[in-house]
Amino acid sequence: MRDYKIAPSILSADFARLGEEVTNVIASGADIVHFDVMDNHYVPNLTIGPLVCEALRKHGVKADIDVHLMVKPVDRIIPDFAKAGATYITFHPEGSEHIDRSLQLVRDSGCKCGLVFNPATPLDYLKYVMDKVDMILLMSVNPGFGGQSFIRSSLDKLREVRKLIDASGRPIRLEIDGGVKVDNIREIAEAGADTFVAGSAIFSAGKPGDPNRYNSVVKAMRDELAKAKG
């Protein structure tokens, strides 16, 4: 059985109580904090920067922080997020003039690195950098906004990347982001994903009666993943 990781996207959290929200969702059984960075340039939205990442660390968040850079260019901001406490830093190939150099910059900054592919972005780049990535993130929605529906063609793309990872023999995580919910997470896992970003599906399902507010929805996802074949 694969080592499945659930990565709540804090883009859907209550930002007035962000430290508390992240503490609760990790205590509820989630694994990774997914941190969406948008620049109102590469994508039509503006979100959060390194100071928020640093604030979460100062708040006491110990879990891995997975920083997804939807910005262009990426090189200027990579060291800032590394210094702020990022564990993973992933970026879109369209956001870098020199992808190999940007990946190396992430590594040199002390973080794990990865590439992100939009639904219509070809996977050709991977042929040249499989030895340099720790994570491959497939977008199953078009980036820029939360709450979108899952694009089903992403399942075929997941299967394709899973074959590439298995053939490489490298411990590369395969992450999916967009429209992941309790009722489709099993199918997504069976297509090859091992790391699942979910925003509104988790943060809109909080229950005051749960010990840490999000226990029920995280458990429901875990139960579905336990049924996955592959």
d(CA 60, CA 80): 19
Is the distance from CB of 23 to CB of 60 less than 8 angstroms? yes
User: The whole model's pTM is what?
Assistant: 0.96
Structure confidence at residue 2 (pLDDT): 87
Q: Are 64 and 86 in contact (CB under 8 A)?
A: no
Instruction: Look at residue 1 and tell me whether its pLDDT is greater than 70.
Output: no
User: pLDDT tens digits, residue range 89-145?
Assistant: 999 999 999 999 999 999 999 999 999 999 999 999 999 999 999 999 999 998 776
Mean pLDDT across 61-83: 97
Helix axes 50-59, 18-27, angle to 10 degrees: 60
Phi and psi, residue 191, nearest 5°: -80, -10
- What is the β-pairing status of strands 32-38 and 64-70? parallel
Which residues, listed in sequence order, are joined to residue 33 by a DSSP beta bridge? Answer: 65
Active-site residues: which are they?
Answer: 36, 177
User: Band of the pLDDT at 77, cuts 50, 70, 90?
Assistant: very high
pLDDT confidence tier of residue 12, bands split at 50, 70 and 90:
very high
Q: In this model, does residue 14 exceed pLDDT 70?
A: yes
Q: What is the pLDDT of residue 132?
A: 96
Report the C-alpha gap between 73 and 129 in whole angstroms: 19
Kindly tell me if the per-residue pLDDT of 29 is higher than 70: yes
Section 43-57 average pLDDT: 95
Please tell me the predicted confidence (pLDDT) of residue 82: 98
More confident residue, 44 or 195: 195
What is d(CA 156, CA 176) in angstroms, rounded to the nearest whole number? Answer: 12
CA separation for the pair 175, 209 (Å, rounded): 30
Given a cut of 70, is residue 146 above it in pLDDT?
Answer: no
Instruction: Confirm if 108 and 122 have CB atoms less than 8 A apart.
Output: no
User: Hey, how many other C-beta atoms are within 10 angstroms of the C-beta on 64?
Assistant: 16
pLDDT at 148: 72
* Confidence grade of residue 147 (pLDDT, cut at 50, 70, 90): low
Q: How many CB atoms lie within 10 A of CB 93?
A: 20
